[in-house]
Amino acid sequence: MGRPTIKEAAMKKTYGLIAAFDTVPALYHACEKVRDAGYSQWDTFTPFPVHGLDAAMGMRRSKVPRFSLAGGITGFFTGMGFIAWLGWVEYPLVVGGKPMFSPMFAFPVAYELTILFTAFATIGGMFLLNQLPMHYHPVLKAPQFVRAMDDRFYIVIEANDPKFNPAQTRALLEQAGGKDLAELDE
């Protein structure tokens, strides 16, 4: 593998800029600066969860609970509907004067299906909204990214952000205290 040809170099597409931060407060304040500058296509990478970082990034609440609620409601009505169908249509049998359908008797089935459908909808919603499985991400090619699993914090601003300008974005990250700034290729 030699040096890239002129054609290969011209075809390289920039994914964005990556900047490193040494401490959680430095990362937190840099996130606030990037958010206030109006960037929308950017992310942080940390070796452990940082509480309050989503607020500093200006992120809205996740939509996964909506999937969970839809799954739970679907599961509940599936369970109730199954027992009602069973009692009224498939196996109509009056025993001891009991009704053909009673929510009291259908509740265990509906409860279990509520839990099952909620779990499946939550996992499915998470996969859908996080665009998983993602077998490749350009940030993983950055040699310095290995430290994001150990002791360093990173901000990556994507080149497809409407406000992205290589010079201005680099200046913003430097002003925010970013170190080891590098351009990421796709």
Res. 4 pLDDT band, cuts 50 70 90 = low
The reply to whether 177 falls in a domain is: no
The one-character DSSP state at 148 is G
Burial class (CB in 10 A: 0-12, 13-18, 19+), 160: exposed
**Strands 179-185, 42-45: parallel, antiparallel or unpaired by DSSP?**
unpaired
The reply to whether 31 falls in a domain is: no
The reply to whether 68 falls in a domain is: yes
The reply to whether 76 falls in a domain is: yes
What is the tens place of the pLDDT at every residue in 116-127? 999 999 999 999
Q: Report the 10 Å Cβ neighbour count for 114.
A: 21
What is the tens place of the pLDDT at every residue in 22-63? 999 999 999 999 999 999 999 999 999 999 999 999 999 999
The reply to whether 45 falls in a domain is: no
The reply to whether 116 falls in a domain is: yes
State the Cα–Cα distance between residues 128 and 171, nearest whole angstrom.
35
In the prediction, which pLDDT does 12 show?
74
The reply to whether 108 falls in a domain is: yes
CA distances from 42 to 17, 49, 85, 97, 159 (A): 9, 17, 51, 65, 9
In the prediction, which pLDDT does 2 show?
57
pTM assigned to the model: 0.77
State which residues form the domain around 123. 64-129
The one-character DSSP state at 97 is T
The reply to whether 118 falls in a domain is: yes
Total domains, the chain: 1
* Look-up of token digits 């002129």: 6
- The length of the chain in residues reads 186
What is the tens place of the pLDDT at every residue in 81-117? 999 999 999 999 888 888 999 999 999 999 999 999 9
